[in-house]
A and B are shown apart, each in its own frame.
Chain A
Amino acid sequence: ETGVTQTPRHLVMGMTNKKSLKCEQHLGHNAMYWYKQSAKKPLELMFVYNFKEQTENNSVPSRFSPECPNSSHLFLHLHTLQPEDSALYLCASSQEGGIRGQETQYFGPGTRLLVL
């Protein structure tokens, strides 16, 4: 247990569906992250939120829409995805999003997404 939970753990969706991934952290952190891990590729940072404000968008397509209503919750809304978007989506949190540098990130278990 890392103190970061994600739901659902597995998701199968069609290209016309709309779904949302949820992440919750119980560590009192102020920064949250979405990463994508595709087969045979390193983890890619998608979004960073610090104190509920988006501070990093790593050129992510608009079919991925993040939402951070408070420092403990992070969502990733999905719509009109493509089969190549199938991947493991990981959420992480850290104390202050690197503002002071030298931070440890804690990861959730991930959502394994399959787009048909």
Chain B
Amino acid sequence: GIQVEQSPPDLILQEGANSTLRCNFSDSVNNLQWFHQNPWGQLINLFYIPSGTKQNGRLSATTVATERYSLLYISSSQTTDSGVYFCAVESGSGNTGKLIFGQGTTLQVKP
């Protein structure tokens, strides 16, 4: 099955700093989503982005489907950005809603 790798596994930032999180996947995809899981476990969908670039406030994401990676950019980080960021994909041959999640990047933003 499709493999999803995220890097870095852990990231510590000072408030106000920028960061880039990476997601590599091993096969073509028809669905790629970025999620943020807060310290209480709630997963919030950030982007649906199987290809192209999207921006939402301080967050933006780019997926280069032909090269099988996606990037999540966080600018001017805030302490509320802390948590775990997951990339999840569904392979291009599937149409079942079956998302495969990466291991996540744990982000800590210090005041």
Q: Which residues does A use to contact B, with CB under 8 Å?
A: 2, 31, 33, 37, 41-45, 48, 50, 55-56, 58, 88, 90, 92, 94, 97-107, 109-110, 112
B48 touches A45 (CB 8 A): no
Interface pairs A-B: 7 shortest CB-CB: A98-B97, A107-B43, A97-B97, A43-B101, A42-B101, A110-B41, A101-B30
Residue of A nearest to B4 (CB): A42
Q: Which residues of A contact B97 (CB under 8 A)?
A: 31, 33, 48, 50, 56, 94, 97-99, 103, 105
Stretch at the interface among B10-18, B53-61, B70-78, B88-96: B88-96
A45 touches B99 (CB 8 A): yes
B101 touches A105 (CB 8 A): no
B34 CB, min distance to chain A CBs, angstroms: 11
A103 touches B31 (CB 8 A): yes
Bound: A55/B94 CA distance, A: 12
Q: Which residues of A contact B88 (CB under 8 A)?
A: 43
| CB contact under 8 A between A101 and B95, given known A42-B86, A42-B101, A90-B43 | yes
| CB contact under 8 A between A109 and B41, given known A42-B86, A43-B86, A103-B31 | yes
B96 touches A97 (CB 8 A): yes
| CB contact under 8 A between A112 and B95, given known A42-B102, A43-B101, A105-B33 | no
